[in-house]
Each structure stands twice: as C-alpha cells, then as structure tokens.
Amino acid sequence: MAIASSGSISIGNAAGSGRSINVELGRTHNTANSRMEADLVTTAVTGSTPREDGTVAQARPHSFSEWHSYTHTQSFGTPTYYVDNTTSTNVATQMANFCVTNATTHEEYESTAVCNTTFYYKINSADEDNLMMEWYMDPDHTVRYVPTSYDFLSRTVSARNTSGGVASFTGNFSSGFTPMKIAQLNVGPLGEALSLQARIYASVIDGTGSYAASVSGYIITTGWVEIVNSSGALTVASNAKNGISPAAWTLPQGDNSTVTLAPYHKIVCEIKATGYNQQALNYFISHHSATAISNESL
C-alpha cells in the first residue's frame, strides 16, 4: 500500500487525505466500520489470496490472528545414494532390492551359526556450520559361530550398487572389511536450526531375524542421538559410529540336523532439526543367511 504523504497514519479519515488507510482503500467509512481483518484483506485482494492476479479463486485469510505463532519450516536437501535402496512399502519389492547379502554355513557337533552387518551413521566434519551426515554398512568379521573348531565353514558377503549390480567389499573375514558408504546428506550450514538429531532402526520383514547386541567399535542404539545441541554446538565426535546390526542367528542343534535362518531386515535412517521437517532416507534392505549343521550323534 502506498501512502501519499508523510505524517501520522490512521484507519479512518482523522489523519487527513493521503494518510488514511480508508482513503487508500477507497473507503469513506469511519474507523468503526473498518476491521484490520477480513474487511481490509477483502478490499486489498478482492476475494483472492495475493497471487498478483485478483481473479485467482482461493480462500483468503480472514484475520491477522492466523499468523499468530506461525513457524516456518524447511526441508533438508536430497540424499545421495550409493547402494540399492527402495521407497516401496511392498515387502516383496523391498526384498528384491536388498543392498547386502551376508551368509555363513558352519558344520560341527552342536553347531551354531551367526552372521550380521552393522548399519551406522556419522558426521564427517567437526564444524557444526558445515555438516555432512554419512551412512555406512560394515559386515561383521568377528567370530560368530560355535564351536570355534569346525569340520566346515563358509562365510560370504557382497553388496549391490544403485543399478542392482554386484559391489564387492574391500577386506575379508580374517582382518575385517572397509565399511561401504550407502548414503550421504549435506546438512549444513544449519542457519538458525538447532538440536540436530539422527537415528537408525530396523524391523524384520521376512523370516526369523535378530540383532547383534554389541559390535566392537560401534554404539548400538535405535533411539535419537543429538548431533548438535540447543546452543548450536556439536555433541558427538566425528568418529562416533551409532548404529544397529541386523543378524541371522541359529541356536545349538540336535543330533544330525540342519537349520537355516535367512531373514530380511528393513533399515530406516532419519534426521530432524529445529526449523526443519523430519526426513527419512529411502529404505535399505539386508539379507542374512545362517546355516548350522550338526553332523554327529551325541
């Protein structure tokens, strides 16, 4: 609205020609007949929201109180993915898009076989104004079978890239693997956003699955972890690895028996921050297969 001359401004005509809101709106009424709500908005936008064209038929705001306590939120950027993933809610489609397959076969008396892969997140910067969140997966290479002597043992693992092709891990089950990056998200600078948090959790979508309760070098947790606190300061070290480790785990077997468990897990990675909409990454699906063979009579 343009006021034609300087001086005090009024709703009605008391301020004189050129300094009255009523005059600017082409009204001759006194203040009592003008409300800084529907009347003012109706006259200003002629029955539409301010879209430059007054013919746009939209419901207009009816009072300034609609802006009371209004909070603007924004979304995080778009994640970059490095392995197979899915947005589907269909279990069969999810299983077809697994990003890692990890298998163990162990043969001995009273055999137990276990295999697990740790999914985790970390930040790659100690600067809270330039944060990059990264997510990884790491096949567990530690001894996960009983007894440790055996007649036969096979342990294999492979990943799938975003095109569904085979992606090999660097390393082995003897000395360990180099974790494979599965996604990243450029978070910072956060601006006025505070209290950045992240979490990762999983659910079994097929078969009988379990989780490793502890993995060396990792913090196993499914709850929200504060990355930046309410004062805008980092609260975790850049090398902190928070995650979860879905697994296939057989129990000790009886005489001359074989048991295989081959579950699929759906891994969910999320972040949230003050002033931002909470965001979940696409689903990551793991496939584990543990076979225990008891080859002797007790």
pLDDT by residue, tens only, the chain of 298 residues? 455 556 666 666 555 555 676 666 666 655 555 555 555 455 455 444 444 444 444 444 445 555 555 566 788 889 999 999 999 999 999 999 999 999 999 999 889 999 999 999 998 876 666 788 999 999 999 999 999 999 999 999 999 999 999 999 999 999 999 999 999 998 877 666 678 899 999 999 999 999 999 999 999 999 999 998 888 788 888 889 999 999 999 988 778 899 999 999 999 999 999 888 999 999 999 999 999 999 876 5
Q: Contact, 225 vs 196, CB < 8 A?
A: no
Place of tokens 């034609």: 4
DSSP string, 220-279: E--S-EESB-TTS-B-S-TT--EEE-EEEEPPPP-TTEEEEE--EEEEEEEEE-TTB--E
pLDDT of residue 138: 98
Give the model's pLDDT for residue 57. Answer: 46
Q: What is the pLDDT of residue 48?
A: 46
SS3 63: strand
